[in-house]
Amino acid sequence: MNLLRVNLDAQVITKFKRRARATKKEVLGRLIGTQKGDEFFVTRISYPKTRSTASWVQEQKPHARPRNCIGTLHSHPNERFSFVTPDDIKGSVLDGDRVFGIFTWWACGEHLDFYSVDKLVMDVVER
C-alpha cells in the first residue's frame, strides 16, 4: 500500500500555526495546491468565512471553494492528544476534501497530522 504524502510550504504552515495558537477557538484553512499521483503539494492556505461554536468550525460556503482547493486544515486548540473525531471525517467527506489536516496544540507542544478521506495516515514533509 502506498502512503500518500503531503508536501507543505514551511512558511505557509508556520503562519497557520501562529494563527491557530492566537485563539482558543478552532481555526480553519483551505489547502490550495495540486495533487500528483500519491503526493499533495500545498502552496497556500486561504481562510474562508466560518461559523464556529466553542468546539466546532465550519466553512460558511464550502460550495464556493476554488478549483485548486485540495482539502482543509483545522486546529484543535488546547488538546494534549491528537485524534480525529467522527465529525471531522463526516465534514471532510461532505465537503469533498481529498486531504484534511488537524493541527493539535497545547501550551508546550503540538501535532500536525493529515488524513485522506479513506483515513490513511499521511506522511508529512515541510520544506
Binding site residues, Zn ion, CB under 5 A: 88
Shortest distance in whole angstroms from residue 79 CB to Zn ion: 10
Q: What is the Cα gyration radius of the chain?
A: 13
Q: Which residue is nearest to Zn ion (CB)?
A: 88
Cα separation, 32 vs 14, whole angstroms: 15
Shortest distance in whole angstroms from residue 54 CB to Zn ion: 12
Shortest distance in whole angstroms from residue 36 CB to Zn ion: 27
The grid coordinates of residue 93 equal 467527506
Shortest distance in whole angstroms from residue 2 CB to Zn ion: 26
The grid coordinates of residue 64 equal 464556493
- 6, 126 Cβ separation under 8 angstroms: no
Cα separation, 107 vs 77, whole angstroms: 10
Quick one: 41 or 106, whose CB is closer to Zn ion? 106
Cα separation, 106 vs 78, whole angstroms: 4
Quick one: 27 or 32, whose CB is closer to Zn ion? 27
Quick one: 39 or 110, whose CB is closer to Zn ion? 110
Quick one: 88 or 97, whose CB is closer to Zn ion? 88
